[in-house]
């Protein structure tokens, strides 16, 4: 007999079916044993009667998280015993046969609750158990559906999904790079991408015109609650575009996504407001304002675009040096390189952010295509013309062969989903996240590698002084 999912048992009333899953809970009522059986789609109540002595004895041995396969007949529950909290609350399975597929020790963490009260260390160490809980299973499924929606939406808009390399070159783009040693070119290193920035711009040179990618990106930044060393972006780029076109595209995408997948949510403002950086700083003292009318209402979504950012900002620390407020490839609103170098504090940029309920969930810009402007920007950031040409040699070569004006945006998928699912931390919507200090407790990473591996890579580890 073909196995059916628990969710689909509602379509088989008074029929015999086979289901499989984990024992969620067990209740012994004398001559009747009830278990709640759980699979990826939901929970159903299973009834074992003493009339079937062999099956009843097996049921009596069941414990939490054992994996079983059960055959029986789907019967309606008495109305007085309906459970409106679950899809299968009006039915139950009267067991005729049971097969124990796998036994389980007592789990080190509770699974039958929402998990918020459990310490992060245990939840991440036993993430494969943590993901069994209904809340986490729901988050995973919603993540899948949201990403699929984004893909389908952009496909209908004639975007082409292109995967860009994970092993690439280290460049001065903002955060620190994670680096990977090369065995075949010893002494040289790949870098993991902070963003597909250069590749997507080169795809515009290649004539792709409309690119997107569900991209994995990596940044070796100091710990923050809403950041991870690796995370997921919806990354897209368009040729012959404008800030207005990019923002309209994103507004259209999120309105439709919310309507389909989160229909209980309501927008604070429709259309999404567009505010300048100066306006939000003057009024809210932040460039990520929370514009909700009722900040205690988790189903209110205050999307907004923030535009007209300064191109540069002073970096904290020694020297009071200039840094790019967002992205050094952002097109300044001044095209004269000399003016950019002379008064960087006055230069504005074609930059736009998308914020949601007080969080930046995306940022984009029109890109620099004039190499003289690119050189001037990096000069302000402290790089000589020679250094810039060496670091971005691909731009200086590719842009000689006809580069269209282009721009795009990157959306933080994890941040968006955390807000839409009413989660306070992005780790709740990432299948296998790291801790705040970049540790993978499940796999035990980062970890040391042996001397043979180090020798093959031509690497020698210097131990820090004990006093440091």
Give pLDDT tens digits for 121-133.
Answer: 999 999 999 999 9
pLDDT at 467 over 60: no
> What's the half-sphere exposure (Cβ side, CA atoms, 13 Å) at 12?
20
The H or E element that residue 253 is part of is helix 243-261
Cα distances (angstroms) measured from residue 208 to each of 188, 211, 238 = 31, 7, 8
Same domain, 281 and 334: yes
Give the residue-averaged pLDDT of 30-44: 94
**In angstroms, rounded to a whole number, what is the distance separating the alpha carbons of residues 95 and 85?**
22
Burial class of residue 257 (count of CB atoms within 10 Å of its CB; 0-12, 13-18, 19+): middle
pLDDT (mean) for 200-207:
98
Given a cut of 90, is residue 275 above it in pLDDT? yes
Nearest CA-CA partner of 349 in 316, 380, 324: 324
Alpha-carbon distance values, 126 to 24, 229, 418 (Å)? 17, 20, 21
Cα separation, 191 vs 391, in Å, equals 13
Report pLDDT for 221: 85
In a domain, 451, yes or no: no
Residue 317 predicted with pLDDT over 80? no
Asked whether residue 150 falls in the same domain as residue 234, the answer is: yes
**Which residue is it, tokens 């001044």?**
334
255 within domain boundaries: yes
Quote the number of domains for the chain: 2
In a shared domain, residues 75 and 161:
no
Tell me: do 87 and 185 sit in the same domain: no
Task: Return the structure tokens found at 88.
Answer: 């299968």
Give pLDDT, residue 45: 97
Tokens of 15: 């029929």
Q: What percent of the chain has pLDDT over 70?
A: 98
Long-range contacts of the stretch 133-139 (C-beta < 8 A, 24+): 134/38, 134/43, 136/428, 137/40, 138/421, 139/417, 139/421, 139/423, 139/428, 139/429
**Residue 441 belongs to a domain:** no
Residues 98 and 203 placed together within one structural domain of the fold: no
**Mean pLDDT across 103-107:** 97
Contact between 142 and 421 (Cβ < 8 Å): yes
172 and 288 part of one domain: yes
Are 23 and 44 spatial neighbours (Cβ–Cβ below 8 Å)?
no
For residues 226 and 312, membership in a common domain is answered with yes
**Residue 234: which of 137, 152, 350, 332 has the closest Cα?**
152
Q: Which residue has the tokens 């496909």?
A: 155
Give mean pLDDT, residues 47-67.
95
User: In this model, does residue 144 exceed pLDDT 50?
Assistant: yes
**Residues 213-235: what's their mean pLDDT?**
89
Do residues 375 and 414 make contact, with C-beta atoms less than 8 angstroms apart? no
Number of neighbours of residue 130 by Cβ within 10 angstroms? 22
Decide if 464 is inside a domain: no
178 lies in a domain?
Answer: yes
Q: What confidence score (pLDDT) does residue 309 get?
A: 97
Give 331's contacts (C-beta < 8 A, 6+ positions apart). Answer: 349, 350, 365, 366, 367, 368, 369, 373, 407
Beta bridge partners of 264: none
CATH code for position 40: 2.40.50.140
Could you tell me which residues are beta bridge partners of residue 275? 306
Both 44 and 161 in a single domain?
Answer: no
Global confidence as pTM: 0.93
Per the structure block, which two tokens stand in for 3? 């196995």
Q: Residue 35 belongs to what H/E stretch? A: strand 32-39
- My answer on whether 81 and 155 are in the same domain is no
- Mean local confidence (pLDDT), 98-115: 96
* φ, ψ (nearest 5 deg) of residue 156: -70, -20
With cut-offs at 50, 70 and 90, classify the pLDDT of residue 468: very low
For residue 289, what pLDDT is reported? 97
What pLDDT sits at residue 65?
Answer: 97
Cβ–Cβ under 8 Å, residues 406 and 237: yes
Tell me the pLDDT of the chain averaged across its residues: 94
Is 385 within 8 Å of 379 (Cβ atoms)? yes
Region 272-280: mean pLDDT is: 98
Are residue 53 and residue 147 in the same domain, yes or no? no
Position with higher pLDDT, 163 vs 390: 163
Angle at 359 between CA 157 and CA 220, to 5 degrees: 90
**CA–CA distance from 446 to each of 315, 418, 429, 438 (Å)?**
29, 26, 22, 8
325-346 pLDDT per residue, tens: 988 999 999 999 999 999 999 9
Categorize the per-residue pLDDT at 225 as very low, low, confident or very high, splitting at 50, 70 and 90. Answer: low
Distance CA 437, CA 221 (A): 10
pLDDT of residue 319: 73
Say which residues have a Cβ less than 8 Å from residue 53's Cβ, sequence separation at least 6: none
Q: What is the CATH number of the domain that holds 165?
A: 3.30.930.10
Cβ-proximal residues to 33 (8 Å cutoff; 6+ apart), any chain: 26, 27, 47, 48, 56, 59, 60
Q: Can you give the pLDDT at residue 172?
A: 66
On whether both 96 and 155 belong to a single domain, the answer is no
User: Is residue 466 domain-resident?
Assistant: no
Please state, in angstroms and rounded to a whole number, the distance separating the CA atoms of residues 68 and 60.
13
- For residue 459, being part of any structural domain is answered with no
**Residue 465, pLDDT above cutoff 60:** no
CA distances from residue 381 to 69, 101, 174, 318, 369 in whole angstroms, order as listed: 63, 62, 10, 14, 18
Three-state secondary-structure class, residue 363: strand
- Does any domain span residue 440? no
Write down the residue that tokens 């990096």 correspond to. Answer: 378
pLDDT at 415: 95
Report CA Rg, the chain.
Answer: 28
Measured over the CA atoms of residue 235, residue 239, residue 242 and residue 248, the dihedral's sign is negative
Q: Which domain holds residue 203?
A: 142-429
The CB density around residue 287, as the number of other CB atoms within 10 Å, is 15
- State whether 423 and 356 are in the same domain: yes
- Integer Cα distance of 6 and 74 in angstroms: 11
Which residue's structure tokens are 């250094």?
387
Say what percent of the chain tops pLDDT 90. Answer: 89
């Amino acid at each position: 007999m073909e196995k059916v999912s628990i969710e689909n048992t509602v379509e088989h009333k008074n029929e015999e079916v086979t289901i499989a899953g984990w024992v969620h809970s067990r209740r012994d009522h004398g001559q009747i044993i009830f278990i709640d059986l759980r699979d990826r789609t939901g929970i159903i109540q299973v009834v074992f009667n003493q009339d079937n002595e062999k099956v009843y004895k097996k049921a009596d041995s069941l414990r939490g998280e054992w994996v079983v396969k059960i055959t029986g007949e789907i019967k309606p529950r008495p109305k007085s015993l309906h459970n409106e909290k679950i899809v299968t609350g009006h039915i139950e399975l009267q067991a005729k046969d049971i097969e124990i597929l796998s036994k389980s020790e007592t789990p080190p963490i509770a699974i039958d609750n929402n998990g918020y009260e459990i310490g992060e260390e245990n939840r991440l160490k036993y993430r494969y158990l943590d993901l069994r809980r209904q809340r986490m299973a729901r988050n995973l499924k919603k993540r899948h559906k949201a990403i699929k929606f984004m893909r389908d939406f952009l496909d209908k808009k004639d975007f082409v999904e292109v995967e860009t390399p994970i092993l690439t070159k280290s460049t001065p783009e903002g955060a620190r790079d994670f680096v990977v040693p090369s065995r075949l070119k010893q002494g040289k290193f790949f870098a993991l991408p902070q963003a597909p920035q250069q590749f997507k711009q080169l795809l515009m040179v290649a004539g792709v015109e409309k690119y997107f990618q569900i991209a994995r990106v990596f940044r070796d930044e100091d710990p923050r609650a809403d950041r991870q060393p690796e995370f997921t972006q919806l990354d897209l780029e368009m040729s012959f575009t404008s800030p207005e076109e990019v923002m309209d595209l994103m507004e259209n995408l999120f309105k439709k996504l919310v309507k389909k997948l989160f229909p209980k949510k309501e927008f604070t403002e429709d259309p999404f407001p567009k505010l300048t950086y100066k306006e939000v700083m003057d009024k809210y003292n932040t460039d990520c304002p929370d514009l909700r009318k009722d900040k205690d209402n988790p189903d209110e979504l205050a999307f907004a675009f923030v535009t007209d950012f300064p191109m540069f900002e002073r970096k904290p620390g020694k020297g009071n040096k200039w840094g790019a407020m967002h992205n050094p490839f952002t097109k300044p609103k001044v095209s004269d390189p000399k003016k950019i170098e002379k008064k960087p504090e006055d230069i504005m940029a074609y930059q736009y952010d998308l914020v949601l309920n007080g969080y930046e969930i995306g940022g984009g810009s029109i890109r620099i295509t004039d190499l003289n402007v690119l050189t001037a920007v990096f000069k302000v950031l402290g790089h000589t013309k020679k250094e810039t040409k060496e670091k971005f040699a691909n731009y200086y070569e590719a842009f000689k062969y006809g580069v269209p004006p282009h721009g795009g945006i990157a959306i933080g998928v994890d941040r968006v989903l955390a807000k839409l699912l009413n989660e306070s931390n992005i780790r709740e919507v990432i299948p296998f996240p790291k801790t705040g200090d970049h540790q993978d407790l499940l796999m035990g990473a980062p970890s040391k590698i042996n001397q043979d591996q180090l020798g093959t890579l031509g690497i020698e580890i210097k131990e820090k002084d004990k006093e440091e």
